[in-house]
Chain A
Amino acid sequence: MLTNRSKVVVNKTLTFSESLYFPAIFRGLMITMSHLFKRKVTVRYPEQTRVFSPVYRGLHVLKRDEKGAERCTACGLCAVACPAEAITMVAAEREPGQEALFREEKYAAQYEINMLRCIFCGLCEEACPKEAIYLTPRLVPSSFKREDFFWKKERLLETVENRVDVSRRLMRPAQKGAA
């Protein structure tokens, strides 16, 4: 009564034509028949893919800077921010002469994301002070082996020749100032 949304339940008995079932069955049959010829909604996945939003949060990428040096400095902020505790890393100090390889004096000797734990929230990307990690509109490939989902640095890192474009992610309002 308070919300004015209460409904009176009618428990009416069926009329004769209803209790024959046939009209209802016939209507039902027509409905299913019309669906037989409708366009199918299934996306045949490996051959077809859905159109992703440009800011889709999929497989991560570890970025390099303009000169090709790794941006990550193994500060561990992403690992701390990660609600799923999917990121682990081992830090190392940059030796003289490695400036072209690593941008900062400290770098991640090992870096691993467990894609089975990851919930693709994007908090690692937000936490990173060095713009080193981004989520991309790519899917983590499926596999029968658990090991295939532990993505090591070698697989996460973009190559110099083959840069991964993350400009769409940068356009997010939250990161506009930083970019």
Chain B
Amino acid sequence: MLDLFFIIQKLILVSAVLAITLVIAMYTTYAERKLAAFFQDRVGPNRAGPFGILQPLADGLKFMFKEAFIPANANKFLFVLGPSISMIAACMACGVIPWGSSLMIMGHEVPLQIADLNVGVLYLFGVVSLGVYGIMIGGWASNNKYALLSTIRASSQMISYEIAMGIALIALTLSTGTLSLKEIVSLQHGGHWNVWVQPLGFIIFIICAFAETNRMPFDLPECETELVGGYHTEYSGMQLGFYLFAEYINMFVSSTVMAALYFGGFNFPFLNSLGLSHNLVTLLGVGVFFAKIFALMFFFIWIRWTIPRFRYDQLMRLGWKVLMPLAIFNMLVTAVLILL
């Protein structure tokens, strides 16, 4: 009996999280286009529905109806596998995010987290690194030199920045003493956000997150002047759509992770002094969590439309010679402080 309830509860949670992620990613494309327009004193898409609100649907439909062309010399299987991996890896990370504390439904306590892994941070890290395979496989399978070069760029960039990111995370786990995302979030209860504890770590993490999601200052894999369309040069139709879409899911996931790791997740000040019922507090917490996520996503977009990109050698230098030593320094300082 309990098992059935458990399975149903998880199934609902999985579908809800997946649906919410996809819808948010969809509307991030809209937000990006709108905000880009606003930053440039334009109005942005405003034809499909009121304020262009149906624009993402129109974009999706357009991708669907376009021919998904596979070049003759491409490896057909891997060519299709590439975007699928990108998409799946992007979606998988949501599994360990604690979206809220828990709801009381019919006397059962339902945690708003699909799986509370005790190595949540590691899982997250592993899944995020999987994303690079999507790009690598797709670019290689295209059998196109531009795609291949861009793939090499993308993978070396991601690998370089993953190191600094990982070390920043080590510092974080040192100071929290746990790898479970749920515990990390609960530890930040009452305004003890990790940004205050780990400001340098956060800055390193957010820079690496930009690089991991291939977004502006680090969006070198796509480069019209040198590499045509980058790793998705040969892609069209919904397969291209998957690649572009995965970028937005990744952006959402990175914002979520940052909100959870550094900004207290679903915690908000005066959480328990409001005197509200448990469920209401949880729902409020979910709302607060999403507000934090959206603020971070806005920051992603804001950065993209503000600063120019790095040159590739600068990018590598920043990753290896600046961020990595800084991250190690941060880790050592954290370790020493904890020892004292």
Contacts and interface: CB of A to CB of B under 8 A. Distances in A.
A31 B306 contact: yes
B41 interface: yes
Given A25-B307, A28-B307, A29-B306, A35 B42 contact: no
A100 interface: no
A153 B307 CA distance: 55
A103 B43 CA distance: 51
Contacts of A41: 41-42
A131 B35 CA distance: 51
B331 to A, nearest CB: 21
A67 interface: no
Interface in B307-324: 307
Contacts of A40: 37-38, 41-43
Contacts of B305: 32
Nearest to A33: B302
Interface string A11-42: 00000000000000100110111011011111
* Interface residues of A, dominant DSSP: helix
A32 B39 CA distance: 6
Contacts of B37: 40
Interface residues of B, number: 14
Nearest to A39: B41
B326 to A, nearest CB: 11
A145 interface: no
B39 A36 contact: yes
B235 to A, nearest CB: 29
Interface in A36-57: 36, 38-42, 44
Contacts of A38: 41
Contact of A36 (B38, B303, B307): B38
A21 B46 CA distance: 35
B302 A29 contact: yes
Nearest to A22: B203
B46 A35 contact: no
